[in-house]
Amino acid sequence: NAGVTQTPKFQVLKTGQSMTLQCAQDMNHEYMSWYRQDPGMGLRLIHYSVGAGITDQGEVPNGYNVSRSTTEDFPLRLLSAAPSQTSVYFCASSPATLGYEQYFGPGTRLTVT
C-alpha cells in the first residue's frame, strides 16, 4: 500500500491564482480530511469527509473547496490564493471505526506571493 499520497510536494502561487492540491489513499478508508499547519503551530482542520459524496467544514474552511466523488480521492481547491494561505497542507484518512488512528500524508508546502 502507498498509504496517503499528496501532490505536489511544493507549490508557489501568485495572489489570485487558483489550484488544486491532490490527495489519494489506497486503504479504502471512509474518512478523509485536510489540515493546514502554520509555522510553530499545531494543525487546524479545513474540511473533512465521512464518505463519497459527503463533505463538511472544519475549523478554517474559508477560501477552500472540497469534493469527494470517490472513496480514494479528496482534492482541496484554493479558489483565489491569498498570502494568508501560505502554509503546509496535510491530508489524512482513517477507517470509519471510532477510536481508530488517522494516517497522514507527507504534506504540500504552499507559498503564495
Partner 1 sequence: DAKTTQPNSMESNEEEPVHLPCNHSTISGTDYIHWYRQLPSQGPEYVIHGLTSNVNNRMASLAIAEDRKSSTLILHRATLRDAAVYYCILRDGGSNYKLTFGKGTLLTVNP
- Do residues 47 and 64 touch, judged by C-beta distance below 8 A? yes
- Do residues 36 and 87 touch, judged by C-beta distance below 8 A? yes
3 state SS of 68: coil
Rounded CA-CA distance 28/56 in Å is: 19
Residue selected from 48, 64, 81, 87 as contacting partner 1 according to rule CB under 8 A: 48
- Which of the stretches 18-26, 44-52, 68-76, 79-87 binds partner 1 when contact is defined by CB under 8 A? 44-52
How many C-beta atoms surround the C-beta of residue 94 within 10 A?
20
- Which of the stretches 13-21, 63-71, 78-86, 91-99 binds partner 1 when contact is defined by CB under 8 A? 91-99
Rounded CA-CA distance 42/61 in Å is: 16
99 contacts partner 1 (rule: CB under 8 A): yes
Rounded CA-CA distance 9/17 in Å is: 18
Give min distance, CB of 45 to partner 1, in A: 6
Residues 9-28 that bind partner 1 (CB under 8 A): none
46 contacts partner 1 (rule: CB under 8 A): no
Q: Which cell is 59 given?
A: 475549523
Residue selected from 103, 111, 112, 113 as contacting partner 1 according to rule CB under 8 A: 103
Residues at the site binding partner 1, with contacts judged by CB under 8 A: 4, 31, 33, 35, 40-45, 48, 50, 58-59, 90, 92, 94, 96, 98-99, 101-107
